[in-house]
Amino acid sequence: MKELEEKIKNDGSIISEDILKVDSFVNHQVDPELMLHIGQDFAEHFKGRGITKVVTIESSGIAPALMTAQQLGIPLVILKKQPSKILNDNLYQTQVTSYTKGTSYELTLSANYIGEKDHVLIIDDFLANGEAATGAIRLLRKAHATIAGVGILIEKSFQPGREKIKSQGFEVYSLARVSKMQKDYIEFIPEE
């Protein structure tokens, strides 16, 4: 998606060869017009597949996932990273290690919102090593839901995430695929 690539070039900040900061338009301050276009792109790509729910992991994936769900006319379910005093029964949980933060967390899904009749689209902001998406897949499998695919805003194609998800049998559709980055330079894989 050229619009997202241009936004990354103009407003993103490359912290290192592995870390790209997009907090000015994705996850601290959100560009609503860009999120609308992202939601439209994901909805167009995955339309006609019988998707019943969109799922994302709190919190950076919420804006694009919400716009995707809105475009598809279906609910959004948010997987929780933080424990809750009221969300404590009928849960699916799995351990996930965050590449960016270098920490682990207990990813949680309430069984009240996903079940065996659901065909789910996973939306996330980044794909690096594939740990977060794999954690979401594990939870959805515990709920006996099927998975339509994984939509990613920004994929670091030089890391193993895409192959990890594809090797599990799932499509990965990324809007911006970074092939290389360093301090003042970023390179994208051309759209197909």
List pLDDT tens digits, range 18-68: 899 999 999 899 999 999 999 999 999 999 999 999 999 998 899 999 999
Phi-psi region of 27 (alpha: psi -120 to 50; beta: other; left: phi over 0): alpha
The domain ranges of the chain are 32-178
Highest CATH level, class, for 32-178: alpha beta
At residue 87, the pLDDT reads 63
- The answer to whether 129 is annotated as binding is yes
- The answer to whether 148 is annotated as binding is no
pLDDT at residue 104 above 90? no
Q: 102: pLDDT confidence band, cut at 50, 70 and 90?
A: confident
Predicted confidence (pLDDT) per residue in 133-180, tens digit = 999 999 999 999 999 999 999 999 999 999 999 999 999 999 999 999
Query: Alpha-carbon dihedral of residues 40, 141, 93, 158, nearest 10 degrees?
Result: -60
pTM of whole model > 0.75? Answer: yes
Q: 75: pLDDT confidence band, cut at 50, 70 and 90?
A: very high
- The answer to whether 20 is annotated as binding is yes
- The answer to whether 156 is annotated as binding is yes
